[in-house]
Chain A
């Protein structure tokens, strides 16, 4: 029994990073918010890079609830989209190297999104990870958790439902 030689690691990383960059790079609102993504294998961590414009209560000061909501929704939709892309890329149906924001397949659309504010957001970076709890042909349910200094002390969490893009076949 012989199996094909594993791909060189730098090619694998390059392909996955190219897909993530095409997904994130084309969205003006993600750039405006200053959100970036760290990738470890298929695990994404969204990072909200602190900026004074994200403040909602200058007296405390605290992050704006709308900035937190935007951050969580972005983390959820990028996680869900990246999972969809991942399958297409790893099985070779999509060529990651030629992916650009213009050639990206259609993305899921938010149906509803519920944010739970657990404590006020401090004026510093925030992190979020999303978990796709159910991903069907038509609908998906995604849960997101966000924290700042301490992973166990969430400052916000959210659940959203998404309409999946129509797939050929």
Chain B
């Protein structure tokens, strides 16, 4: 399987997750513990009707998906992963009408835990909209398990 095949399968896998699909997430980049996922502005995601700013929960969902993708793309290649905890800092409201892009990095991995940090941006790439740190479980393939 070539690198391109892997990337295509990963993209299809992530874009087929029902909730990610509902938020129209798109995998832009993935590999070596780094993932970039974006989603378009949509009126259904608005959290503050007076300003048209997207709900924090939608940004959380983007960060969570992107964090999980970063873990799955790590060189140690876990077969599965679930979020243990995720903290998001909201630094400023995302500008209404603009696409939101998250970039996550899995910066450390043990046999059982993956550590991730992420940032989200709108069209202004110099000022993040939000930042996140999270830990994820690392599911190893069955035959890799240490026997008692």
Contacts and interface: CB of A to CB of B under 8 A. Distances in A.
B76 interface: no
B56 interface: yes
A65 B21 contact: no
B123 interface: no
Interface string B13-34: 0001111111100000000000
B10 interface: no
A66 B65 contact: yes
Interface string A99-128: 001100011011111111100100000000
Given A53-B18, A70-B57, A73-B60, A101 B85 contact: no
A66 B83 CA distance: 10
B57 A69 contact: yes
Interface in B114-132: none
Interface residues of B, number: 38
Q: Do most interface residues of chain A lie in helix, strand or loop, or is the interface mixed?
A: mixed
A120 B55 CA distance: 23
A76 to B, nearest CB: 10
B113 to A, nearest CB: 13
Nearest to B46: A28
Contacts of A142: none
Interface in A43-74: 52-58, 62-67, 69-71, 73-74
Contact of B85 (A52, A64, A111, A117): A117
B7 interface: no
Nearest to A29: B55
Interface in A134-169: none
A27 B49 CA distance: 6
A53 B61 CA distance: 13
Interface in B63-121: 63-65, 68, 82-90, 93
Given A71-B57, A73-B56, A27 B64 contact: no
A48 to B, nearest CB: 11
B36 interface: no
Given A54-B19, A55-B18, A66-B65, A112 B88 contact: yes
A112 B86 contact: no
Contact of A117 (B16, B55, B63, B82): B82
B48 A66 contact: no
B90 A66 contact: no
A91 B84 CA distance: 43
6 contacts: A27-B48, A29-B45, A32-B45, A64-B64, A65-B82, A114-B86
